[in-house]
Structure 1
Amino acid sequence: MLSHVIPPPRGYTKAPNSLVRHPRIGSDAKVLVLYVQGLPEEDRDKALGEHARALRMTGRAYQKAKADLVTHGYVHEKRESVAGGRWRTVQVFSNEPLTDEQAARLRAGVPADGYENVGASAAQDAWPAPSAHSPTVGEPTVRRAGGLLPADGEQGEDSSHPPTEAAVEAESESQDQDQAEVLLAERVLLSLRHRTRELSLGAREARKLAALAAEWLRRGVSAGDLRLALSRALPEDGVRSAFGFLAHRLVEKLPPHPEATPEFLPPPPPLTLPLLACDGPGEEHMFRPHESWVTTCGPCHREQQRAYWADLMTRAEADPAPPRPSWRELAAEAAEAAEAAANGGATCAEEAPGYGTRATAT
C-alpha cells in the first residue's frame, strides 16, 4: 500500500479539521486514518485491513470504515495484473482527499498536483542536487508535504497560548452548525430536480452553491420556503443554465437579516385593590377585595349564603306545595269518569262540516 501522509512533528499526530469534523465519515474511519498516519514509515507498507486488525476492529466495522474512506477520497484501490496470471490490489492512502487522477499519479510515483510521496527513496530522489554556483543553491522546487515543521513553528517548546476549552467548544459548535446548514442547503438544491427538470443540478454544482443557499437558512428561511423561492416564477422562455439561474437568484433575492427580537418582558404584577369596609353584619372591619365588584369579605359572604338557604328551607317547610298525583291516581280518575259517562248518559259534541258544532243528546 502506498502511503501519503504528513509526518507528525515531535511525537504526535496532526489531523486536519476537515477529517475530524466530517459529518459523513464514521468514527472508526477517522481513527483508522489517524492510526495509519501516526505509524513510522517502515510500518505503513501493509494492507489497510492489517492496520484495522491491529486496532481490533471487527470485519463489519472495517468494511464500513473503508467504504467511508473510499467514498470521500481518502483511500483509492486499483486491481492490477502481475506475472503468472495473478492479480493484486494496490491501495493509495492519504490523510487528505485525493481525486482519481491524483491517486493514479501517486501510484506511478509522480507528484500529485503539489503532493509528494514521502517514502525514503522518493524523498531522496525528489530533492535536486545543488549546483556549482557560489553560494550553493538548488533548483527552484514546489513545496513538499511532509518532513517540515509548520511555517510558524520552531523546534523546542511552544510558547503560544492555546485557546481555552470554552472557546474551543464554542468554535466547534459554531462550525458544526455551519456545516449542518451547508449540508441541508445542498440537499435542498439537489431536490429542485423533483419540482422541475429545468433546475437539475449535478453534485459538484450543488456543492458550489451550497454556501450561498446556507446563508438563507441562517437568516431564518426554512428549507421548504427556500425550495419554493428558488423554483417558483421561472422565466417564460425557460432556464438555459440551472447553475447560473440559481446563483443569480440566491444572490439577488437574498432576504434581509431578521430584525432583533425584543427582549422578553415578564407579565406585569396583578393590580392591588385598596382596602374596603365590609358590608356584612357584625362589627365594622376592612378587607382587600380580589375583584372591584366585591363588597363583602369571604367569611361574611359565606355567612350570608348560609342564612339565605336556611330561610328558603324554612319557608318551604311552613307552606309546602300540594303533592302531585301519581300516574296510578290519574289513571284511576280517568277510568271512573269514563264509567260514569257510560252509565248515566252524557252530552257529546258533533261537528257538522261547514255548519259549525251542534249538541245532541243520547
Structure 2
Amino acid sequence: MGTENTSAPPPAQSAPADNPTRTRRHGGGIIHENTRHTTRFVVIGNHLVQHKELSLLAIGLSCHLQSLPTGAGADIKSLAARFPEGPTRIAAALRELEAHGYLRRERHRTETGRIVTRTVSCNQPHADRRREPADTGCPPAKRTPPPQRRTVQKALPAVPQPSSTAPALFQTALDLLADLRRRDARLLLSATDTAHLVPGVAAWLERDVTPGAVRHALTAGLPDEPLHRPAALLAHRLVAQLPPPPPFRAPAGPPPPRYEVRNCDGCDRGFRAPETEDRCRDCRAASHP
C-alpha cells in the first residue's frame, strides 16, 4: 500500500491561471485575460470582428464608429484627421461597411434649408431586409417619402370687359351671379370667382341684353354630372356666347326749346315765341304778303 508505483503516469494537471503560455488543448494560440468593464466601453458583436468578408480596416473602423458619441464627426475628412490611413482607404472601408449593412449615410435638409449628411452606425445589420427586421439596436432607415406633386389649379379664363364703369351696372351683374345658386345649387360661387365673373356679365348687360337673357345663357343646357369648376364653365360661356354690340343709333339732337306763352300785338292771340317776336305767325305772314 505504501509502495509508490513508479511505472504509472502522473495525473493530468490543469494549466495555472496565471500562465498565459499554455492552454488545455495545446501549447500555442491565444488565451484571454479579461477584466470586466464598468465604464467607457462598447459591446461589439462577433459577427463584426470575425466577419469573413470585411477587411481589417473596415472592421476596426466600424468598432471606432460604434464607440463614438452621438453627433461626433464621422465623415471622411474627420476620420482621415484622426487615423494615419488616408481618405482613399477610409472611403473604401466605409463603402465596405455600407455594402454589408453596418453603415448608412443619409442626407437631410435642416430647418435653414442646408443639406447635411448623417452617418448611421449599426451594431448589427439586418441579415435579410425582405423579412421583418429583428430588434438589432440599429434604428431602421428613415425613408424620405417622395415629394408629393401639388395640384396647381389653373386660372379662370378671361372674361369680356365692359367699357362702362357705372356702379349700377356692376351691382346688377353681381346680383345676377349671386342668384344663380337659387336656380342650380351647383352654381354656388365663391367671392373670388364672383369678382372675376362680374365684369363679363356687365359686358353682356352693356350690350342691351336683359338680365333674364344673360341668366338663361349661363344656365341653359348644363350637364347632369357634378360641376367641378362651375366658375370656369360660366367664364367660358361668357366668352364663347358673347353677343355683338347693339346696332348703331345716331344720337338724338337736343329737344326744341319751349318758349313762354305771350299775346300777339296784332290779334291778341296767345302764342309761343322768343322774346324778340311780338306777333304770331299769322300776323307776321299778313304783314309780309
| TM-score by shorter chain over 0.5 | no
TM normalised by structure 1 equals: 0.23
TM normalised by structure 2 equals: 0.29
Structure with the higher helix share, 1 or 2: 1
- Structure number with bigger Rg: 2
